[in-house]
Structure 1
Amino acid sequence: MSLPRHPSYDLVVVGSGPTGSAYVREVYDRHPTARILLLDAGPRLTDPPGTHVKNIADSAERARAQRASEGPGPAGRPGTRLLEAPDLPAAALSTNVGGMGAHWTGACPRPGGGERIGFIPDAEMDAHLSRAEQLLRVDAHAFDHAPFADEVRRRLAALFDAGRPPHRRVAPMPLAVTTRSDGAHTWSGTDVILGRAAADERVDIADRCLCLRVVLDGDTATGIVVRDLATGEERRVSARAVVIAADALRTPQLLHASGVRPPALGRYLNDQPQIVYAVRLPDDVVAAHRAVTGRTRDEDGAIVAQSGVSWVPYTDAHPFHGQVMQLDASPVPLADGTDVEPGAIVGLGWFCAKDISPDDRVEFTDTAADARGLPALRIHYRYSDRDLAAIEQAKEAVAEAGAAVGIPLDDSPLLLPAGSSLHYQGTTRMGPADDGTSVCDSHSRVWNTRGLWVAGNNVIPTATACNPTLTSVALAVRGARALLAHLDSTAERSTPAAQAGVGTA
């Protein structure tokens, strides 16, 4: 469908990625009569909607789905388009039902130390993280049998584990993936988060449907204005609650277009500098593995469809997040022409926590529009002196980790262009008080605007190094609790469900 079927809903969610879908699922599960609209400016790629593209078996179909997600403009990595922002040259976005949840790596580490949000009690946040892991079907052991995974972790643990608490030691990376009975894997997209909600008549999913602005009645959000991108037709849709979950760049853009402009809007833009390095395991380790398993390289190539992924957690003493991936089981020729045992090539990626500044921001103008008529944006972003120092420390740390694992294949660690992580955060950050440094409260409610929530990595207020999706879904779970209370508090009004004879809230 394109334009929504009904003129009014209990809840409208703009943006169908992991956090928007988490709001839908939580309200669907806990409010048995709520009518919900989930809309996205991009197309449906799959049936059911929101399926991860890795689960599309046919390579040509998978490539078509990725191209359909990119939209106009130069392509970034598959499924995304580059913004061509000089200060953040690798910045890229996807536009499709499921958002980046259709393309992400599935890494779901829990934040630790300074990555945690100090004004949310630990017990509450841990409960939200556990619920997020359920919604995403997180499994830390899906690839435990990947070649050499144990050996890689043993070597990393010998370097990093001393003095760490058990839950912050080297471990398999928690991944949003399900192991099937045949041993194959299904990656979690937003179809997994939505569950039965995606096929229920109480939930409408509108694709190719652009939200132009939030409708306000004084200080209360009462709905949205949408445009069918196929026909150009526009319509106003009423709602008792609105969630904007359109990513860290388009969420503040939409608030700006709606006249919701708290001082922190678009500020505190936070990416994660990313350093990469590659090594190969020593020949004696490979030979010992072959002797024990009896496998040849070709057999491994047939058996192992995905490499092992290991995790070096962030700590305040080691303020980097390490994501260690053994290359997929395909032949990798070395410079001398020697083929490498699958799993013996190890890629190390170290992510830094950015020095957060209000000057790093996405800025909007009322005098120019983008291709879809929303306020044009410009990104301002730079590395501070502390960032540059942290990047050098991360290069030293990843080189040390590489030396512990094996034989370097790169001359030195490489800093990827700014924006490469795709982990953009902070532009509608939450805070404990409305003091001008945040856009929403700890339950993601926009300050001074009743009935309006924001969602996504953009609400994370801390300097994180770990992959942010699990944290942002946990914050969506937290926000949904407050949203449900809002729906209950407005139950005395005539609801869309009641008007349609479905029931009362």
Structure 2
Amino acid sequence: MSAYDVVVVGSGPVGTAAARELADRAPDLRILVLEAGQVLGDVPGGHVKNIADPGAALAGLPAGAAPPPGATPARPGTALIGTPDMPNAAISTNVGGMGAHWTAACPRPGDDEVPGFLDPAVLDEALDRAEELLAVTTHAFDGAPLRDAVQQVLGEVFDQPERRPVGPMPVAVAASGDGSLHWTGPAVIAGDLWERGNVTLRAGTRATRIVTEGDRATGVEVVDVATGEREVVESRAVVVAADAFRTPQLLWVSGIRSAALGRYLNDQPQIMTASLLDDRYVTDEAPAKVSVSAASTPGGGAIIPLSGVSWVPYAAGRPFHGQVMQMDASPVKLDPGITVRPGQVVGLGWFCRKEVSAADRVWFDEDTPDEHGMPAIRVDYTLTDADQAAIAAAVEELRTAAKALGRPLGEPFVLPAGSSLHYQGTTRMGPADDGTSVCDPAGRVWGTANVFVGGNNVIPTATACNPTLTAVALAVITARALADLLEVSP
């Protein structure tokens, strides 16, 4: 039987950030990070777009093992949950979680996206730390020759007084001098974490239950995925950061079942379109300023440095935010007669704020075990009239933006529910244990002394911006609170 100070369940951006912040603040803590999946490629938690051969991303699977059901070469380790109300809902079972696959967009939340009960100074400092851990920058695409033209047009359409202006999207992407890109995966967050003597990463190990005595966790029951061997890992505290579906699932099977557990599920409706940039922006000379080659997009990345990534920020009176980027493969089929210069097709993706409702939820069917013997995940999820109105407004905005940039390529289309991968709310935080939240502002689960949760699922507000930066910032707050707790606990 092994013993640790902290067991972290989940090796995604949030689990890794919590472990890193804990280890930095309290180097003597013995920390175990559990991951049910395997390493993709050679680097634990590396982004798959940094792998020159995408097929090599499956190299970490056990010999003879097949990819997870629903996995694709573009996202090895991921699988669809398979639920009618949210048909594109996906989970990622690999070291690094969905952080090995994400688009690396890291906008800060604004206006009413920010939880009003959090101390603004504390949150701002945690967001600063999250940007440091994720290596966020707005300069990765400074040399993109089409970026300024795209942002000028978008600014003319959308900028208004008292709103954050159109600008470069903050991204967790580093650009080298030769134009090649390195995408932040949890490996960047970890740094030398896995080389420290007191921190252990165990891949291929699934957490099946938090062991409790009264209101206190004493350990985690785990199973070795390859051998089926079970054991209990003793721990002074537990942090569960296993995504918006499996985090509440693990709490549920552990008998930690607050009224809000699994409820307030928030998936941002996503609308897409594409536009063929006007020839006045795309000249024969402009694309030539950047070498477009395999070296610029290792692993077949979706962004090449011609127009970069532009951001149309969320505002309280405008219930969506947008990102515009050059695409190496348009989702819209082009007419055979259209000649396209490199970088001329841009994709526009708008994410909508969705009303928060307790009726939108994840729940667990104890009569139907999943392939791991856990209660099967079910989802209840509907769009309200206000949600439909926001989607309709976003469609109109996309039409306007696509036309302003050049030639719209078809009509904007709404992606199936779950496509955003920005699932939130199922273990939401709150200021009081009043039945509408699962954890306190530090991430500690109500009614427990030492069980903490992290992830996008902790975010309690209706948001439109990409949630990873916010979730990592909240994990920083959690890690600091937990370090203080363990310092004074026996």
- The TM-score range, normalised by the shorter chain, is over 0.9
- Residues 84 and 70 of structure 1: is their aligned pair in 2 closer, same or farther, counting only changes over 3 Å? farther
* Alignment correspondent of 2:405: 405
- 1:355 lines up with 2:355 in the alignment: yes
Q: CA deviation at 1:296?
A: 8.6
Q: CA deviation at 1:339?
A: 2.9
- 1:78 lines up with 2:71 in the alignment: no
Relative to the length of structure 1, the TM-score reads 0.90
SS at match of 1:284: coil
Number of matched residues? Answer: 478
What letter matches 1:75 in structure 2? A
- Residues 294 and 136 of structure 1: is their aligned pair in 2 closer, same or farther, counting only changes over 3 Å? closer
Distance 1:360 1:71 in 2: 30
Distance 1:182 1:348 in 2: 27
1:238 to 212, 223, 234: 234
Distance 1:73 1:48 in 2: 23
Distance 1:277 1:87 in 2: 23
What letter matches 1:44 in structure 2? V
* Alignment correspondent of 1:310: 310
- Residues 449 and 368 of structure 1: is their aligned pair in 2 closer, same or farther, counting only changes over 3 Å? same
Q: Deviations over 1:189-215 (max 9, x none)?
A: 111111111111211111110101001
What letter matches 2:459 in structure 1? I
Q: Where do residues 129-278 of structure 1 align in structure 2 (5 Å cutoff)?
A: 129-165=127-163, 168-278=164-274
SS at match of 2:133: helix
- Residues 56 and 365 of structure 1: is their aligned pair in 2 closer, same or farther, counting only changes over 3 Å? same
Distance 1:40 1:162 in 2: 45
- 1:295 lines up with 2:288 in the alignment: yes
- Residues 284 and 477 of structure 1: is their aligned pair in 2 closer, same or farther, counting only changes over 3 Å? same
- Residues 322 and 55 of structure 1: is their aligned pair in 2 closer, same or farther, counting only changes over 3 Å? same
* Alignment correspondent of 2:121: 123
Q: CA deviation at 1:70?
A: 9.0
Decide whether the 8 Å contact of 2:145 with 2:287 is kept in 1. no
Relative to the length of structure 2, the TM-score reads 0.93
* Alignment correspondent of 2:300: none
Decide whether the 8 Å contact of 2:145 with 2:289 is kept in 1. no
Decide whether the 8 Å contact of 1:170 with 1:312 is kept in 2. yes
- Residues 399 and 189 of structure 1: is their aligned pair in 2 closer, same or farther, counting only changes over 3 Å? same
Q: Which runs of 4+ in 1 moved over 6 A?
A: 65-70
Q: Deviations over 1:208-247 (max 9, x none)?
A: 1010100101111111000011111110111111000000
1:23 to 12, 18, 23: 18
SS at match of 1:248: helix
Distance 2:390 2:62 in 1: 36
Distance 1:46 1:136 in 2: 20
Decide whether the 8 Å contact of 1:42 with 1:209 is kept in 2. yes
What letter matches 1:141 in structure 2? H
Q: Structure 2 stretches of 5 or more lacking a match?
A: 298-303
* Alignment correspondent of 1:438: 437
Decide whether the 8 Å contact of 1:53 with 1:65 is kept in 2. no
- 1:479 lines up with 2:487 in the alignment: no
Range that drifts further, 363-372 or 93-102 = 363-372
Distance 2:449 2:394 in 1: 43
Decide whether the 8 Å contact of 1:70 with 1:95 is kept in 2. no
- Residues 143 and 243 of structure 1: is their aligned pair in 2 closer, same or farther, counting only changes over 3 Å? same
- Residues 474 and 378 of structure 1: is their aligned pair in 2 closer, same or farther, counting only changes over 3 Å? same
Q: Deviations over 1:30-86 (max 9, x none)?
A: 112111100111012233311111111123313656999995323366232111110
Q: Where do residues 376-395 of structure 1 align in structure 2 (5 Å cutoff)?
A: 376-395=376-395
Distance 1:440 1:337 in 2: 57
* Alignment correspondent of 2:109: 111
SS at match of 2:337: coil
Decide whether the 8 Å contact of 2:327 with 2:347 is kept in 1. yes
What letter matches 1:480 in structure 2? A
Range that drifts further, 321-330 or 91-100 = 321-330
Decide whether the 8 Å contact of 1:301 with 1:342 is kept in 2. no
What letter matches 2:424 in structure 1? Q
The alignment's C-alpha RMSD in Å is: 2.2
* Alignment correspondent of 1:499: none
Q: Structure 1 stretches of 5 or more lacking a match?
A: 1-5, 494-505
- 1:43 lines up with 2:41 in the alignment: no
* Alignment correspondent of 2:463: 464
* Alignment correspondent of 1:450: 449
Decide whether the 8 Å contact of 2:239 with 2:452 is kept in 1. yes
SS at match of 2:148: helix
Decide whether the 8 Å contact of 1:43 with 1:207 is kept in 2. yes
Q: CA deviation at 1:489?
A: 1.3
Decide whether the 8 Å contact of 1:223 with 1:237 is kept in 2. yes
Distance 2:287 2:479 in 1: 52
Decide whether the 8 Å contact of 2:48 with 2:54 is kept in 1. no
- Residues 451 and 426 of structure 1: is their aligned pair in 2 closer, same or farther, counting only changes over 3 Å? same
- Residues 302 and 362 of structure 1: is their aligned pair in 2 closer, same or farther, counting only changes over 3 Å? closer
* Alignment correspondent of 1:503: none
* Alignment correspondent of 1:502: none
